[in-house]
Structure 1
Amino acid sequence: MDPPDWLERRQVTVYAVAVVLAVGVGVGRPGAASWIERLIDPTLAILLYVTFLQIPFVRLRRAVSNGRFLAAALGMNFLVVPVVVWGLTRFLPGRPTVLVGVLFVLLTPCVDYVITFTELAGGDAEQITATTPALLFVQLLLLPAYLWLFVGREVATVVEAGPFVEAFVSLIVLPLSFAWLTEVWAERSVRGDCWQRAMGWLPVPMMGATLFVVIASQLPRVRGSIVGIAAIVPIYVAFLVVMPLLARTATRSLGMDVREGRALVFTSVTRNSLVILPLALALPAGYELVPAVVVTQTLVELVGMVALTRVVPAWLLPGPDEPAAGMQTG
C-alpha cells in the first residue's frame, strides 16, 4: 500500500481531528479568527494545486469536450437547484436578511474544493475542473436574476463581479497553471518527478488544513447569531440530502458512468460559500445577519461533504464491483 492510499483510507480520521481542533480554537480562542481567516485562500490554493496534480492533463483536455456533462452540470445547478431552493425556503420564517443569505449561498455552485471532494469520492474530478469557468460565469450572470425573482431588485443590484473573478484567478487559474508546469517538469526531470510524487502525500492533509482554517476562523462569526440562524440548519441539511438523490436520478437518466455521476452529485450539492462570503460582508446596513447565514452553510456543508465522500461511492453511486441496495432496482 503506497503512502497516499494509506492516507486516503484514514481520511475521515484526519478530518475528524481537524474539525475537533478547529472547534476548540474557534470556541477557546475567538480572537485568533481574524488572522486564521487570512489563511483560507492560500490553503485552498495549495489544496487545489495538489489536487490538480492528481489529474493528468491529457484527461483534462478530453474532459473539456464532454458536452453532455457540462449540460448536466449547468442544468442541475441553474434549473434544478433554484426550484429546490425555492421549495426549501418556503419554510423559512419571515426574515428577509436570512432569506437573502440562504439564496446567496445555495444558488451558487462551488468551483474550488468541490474538485477535491469529487476526487476523494472516486468521481471524475477532471470533468468538474473543466466545467468551472462555465459554472462561475453563469452564476455571476444568474445570481442577480434569481435574487430579483425571489426577493426583489434592491438586493439584486449588490452583486459584483470582482470577488468571482478574483477567486477564479487565485483558486483555479494559478493552481492549475502551476500544476501543469509541475507535470511538464516531472516529465523532463528526476527532481520534478520526485516533487510530484511527494505532493501525492498532501491532498488529505491539505483538506484537513482547509477544514481547520475555515471552521476555526468562521465559527466565532456564527456564535453570536445562533438564535437568529437556527432555523436555517434543517434547510441546509435537507439540501445536502435532496440534491445527491436528484443528481443520481439525472445520472441514470443520462446514462452516465459512475465517475461522471459522482462528479455530478458533488457539483450539484457543493456551494460557493467561500467566494460568496466577501459579497455578504459587503452588503449595506440591515443585512448584518447574512454573513452568519453564509458561514453556517459552510460549516454544515463541510461536515456533509466528509460524509458524502463515503456515502456516494458506498451507497449512492457504487462502482460495478460494489453493489448497493439503493441501486439494485429500476
Structure 2
Amino acid sequence: MDRLTLERRQVWIYLSTIIGGLLVGSTWPDITHLFEKLLWPALVLLLYTTFVQVPLLHLREAFRDRRFVAAILAGNFIALPLLSWTLLQWLPVDPVVRLGVLLVLLVPCTDWFITFSQLGAGNVPRAIAVTPLNLLLELLLLPVCLWLMLDTKLAAPLSFTEIWPALLVVIVPMIAAAVSERWFEAQPTREKLRDRLAWWPVPLLALVVFLIAGAQISAVRNALSLFPVVVPLFVAFLVLAALIAKGLARLMALPTDQGRTLAFSLGTRNSFVVLPFAFSLPDGWEVAAVVIVLQSLVELFGMVFYLWWIPRKLFR
C-alpha cells in the first residue's frame, strides 16, 4: 500500500477506531483514566509528524502568487469566520457546543487538504506553499475571532491560566518541526526520514480518536442528542465553503486547478490542532471535544463528495 492509498482510506480507519474506542470505553470504564493520560503524548506526536510536513521555514514562497494567496486569506480569515458566525445563530444557546463549533470552523487545515487537492486535480505546489501561512495566521487570529464572537462568560474557560498546557502541546511540536526542517534540508539524504514521517499522521490520528472515544464515552452519550443539530450545520458549512471558493476564484480570475485547491482549503478544518484547547477546558466542557471530532468525521465524508463535485462539476 502506498501513502496516497492509506490517506484515501483514512475516513474508514478513523470510523473503525472511534467505534473500537467506544466499545472499549463502555466495556472497561476504568480504562478511561489511562486513555486520558495517553492522549496528550499522542497529540504531541501527531502534531509533530504533521507540522514536519509543513514548510515552516519557507513562508516567503507563499507570496509568489499574490492572487491565490489573497483568495486563500480572504476565504479562510474573512468569509469563513463570517459564515461560521452566521451558522452559529442556528445552534441552541449552549456555550459548550458553540465553543466547540467555533474552535474547529475557524481554523483552516494544514495537512490533509494537500492530499485532497492532489486527489481532486488541484495545484499541489500552491497548496504546500500556503500551509505555513495558514498555520501561523490561524493561531494568531483564533483568539481574536473567539473574543469577537463569544461573550465574556463563554470565553472565560479559554483564559491563559486554563489553556497554557494546550499551548505547549501545539507550540513545542511546531518548534521541533522547524528545527527538524532545518536539519532535513542540511543534507538531501535526510529527506528520506521526512518521507517516512509522512506515513505517521494517519495512524497517529486514528490512535488519538480511539483514545478520545474511549476516554470521553460519557461525553459522547451526552452529545448524542446534539448530532441532529450539529451535523447539518457542518454539512451546510462544506457546501457553502465550496460555493464561496467558486466566487473568490472568479473574482480573482484563478486558474481551474488553483480554484480547486482553494475549495479544498476552505472546506477542510484543522480539527486536531484545536483538540488540545478543547481538552484543557474545565470539567463539564468535554462535549466541545466530541463536537470537534464529529466535525472531522463529517468533513472526511464530505471530502469524498468533494472529490466528485469539485473537479467534475464546480471547477470543470
Seen in structure 2, the aligned counterparts of structure 1 residues 245 and 40 have a Cα distance that, compared at 3 Å, is farther
Which position in structure 2 is the counterpart of 1:47?
46
**Kept after mapping to 2: 8 A contact 1:237/1:300:** no
Using the TM superposition, give the Cα deviation of residue 277 of structure 1 relative to its aligned residue in structure 2, in angstroms.
0.7
CA-based RMSD: 3.6
Seen in structure 2, the aligned counterparts of structure 1 residues 67 and 140 have a Cα distance that, compared at 3 Å, is farther
Partner deviation per Cα, 1:51-95 (whole Å, 9 max, x = no partner): 4555567865412555545543443344323432343233334x3
CA distance in 2, matches of 1:57, 1:96: 37
Using the TM superposition, give the Cα deviation of residue 299 of structure 1 relative to its aligned residue in structure 2, in angstroms.
2.5
CA distance in 1, matches of 2:262, 2:252: 14
Seen in structure 2, the aligned counterparts of structure 1 residues 176 and 296 have a Cα distance that, compared at 3 Å, is same
Which position in structure 2 is the counterpart of 1:22?
21
What percent identity do the matched residue pairs reach? 21
Which position in structure 2 is the counterpart of 1:274?
275
Which position in structure 1 is the counterpart of 2:86?
87
Runs of 5+ in structure 2 lacking a partner?
A: 119-123
Using the TM superposition, give the Cα deviation of residue 169 of structure 1 relative to its aligned residue in structure 2, in angstroms.
0.9
Which position in structure 2 is the counterpart of 1:285?
none
Using the TM superposition, give the Cα deviation of residue 137 of structure 1 relative to its aligned residue in structure 2, in angstroms.
0.8
Seen in structure 2, the aligned counterparts of structure 1 residues 73 and 53 have a Cα distance that, compared at 3 Å, is same
**Kept after mapping to 2: 8 A contact 1:14/1:208:** yes
Which position in structure 1 is the counterpart of 2:179?
177
Seen in structure 2, the aligned counterparts of structure 1 residues 68 and 156 have a Cα distance that, compared at 3 Å, is farther
Which position in structure 1 is the counterpart of 2:240?
242
Partner deviation per Cα, 1:97-155 (whole Å, 9 max, x = no partner): 35643564256315xxx22221321251441223211221122223212213xxxx443
One-letter identity of the residue aligned with 1:139: L
Using the TM superposition, give the Cα deviation of residue 315 of structure 1 relative to its aligned residue in structure 2, in angstroms.
2.2
CA distance in 2, matches of 1:18, 1:236: 21
Runs of 5+ in structure 1 lacking a partner?
A: 283-287, 319-323
One-letter identity of the residue aligned with 1:130: L
Which position in structure 1 is the counterpart of 2:121?
none
CA distance in 1, matches of 2:175, 2:237: 29
Seen in structure 2, the aligned counterparts of structure 1 residues 251 and 30 have a Cα distance that, compared at 3 Å, is farther
CA distance in 1, matches of 2:154, 2:198: 44
CA distance in 2, matches of 1:270, 1:261: 16
CA distance in 2, matches of 1:107, 1:156: 16
SS at match of 1:224: helix
Using the TM superposition, give the Cα deviation of residue 259 of structure 1 relative to its aligned residue in structure 2, in angstroms.
5.2
With normalisation by structure 1, the TM-score equals 0.72
Partner deviation per Cα, 1:243-267 (whole Å, 9 max, x = no partner): 2332343234323453574355335
More displaced stretch, 119-128 vs 36-45: 36-45
Seen in structure 2, the aligned counterparts of structure 1 residues 18 and 182 have a Cα distance that, compared at 3 Å, is farther
CA distance in 1, matches of 2:89, 2:55: 44
Which position in structure 1 is the counterpart of 2:251?
253
Which position in structure 2 is the counterpart of 1:72?
71
With normalisation by structure 2, the TM-score equals 0.75
**Kept after mapping to 1: 8 A contact 2:113/2:265:** yes
More displaced stretch, 128-137 vs 35-44: 35-44
Seen in structure 2, the aligned counterparts of structure 1 residues 98 and 203 have a Cα distance that, compared at 3 Å, is closer
Partner deviation per Cα, 1:164-200 (whole Å, 9 max, x = no partner): 7434413433233324423435x2x5xx355344334
More displaced stretch, 198-207 vs 301-310: 198-207
Higher relative contact order (CA 8 A, sep 6+): 2
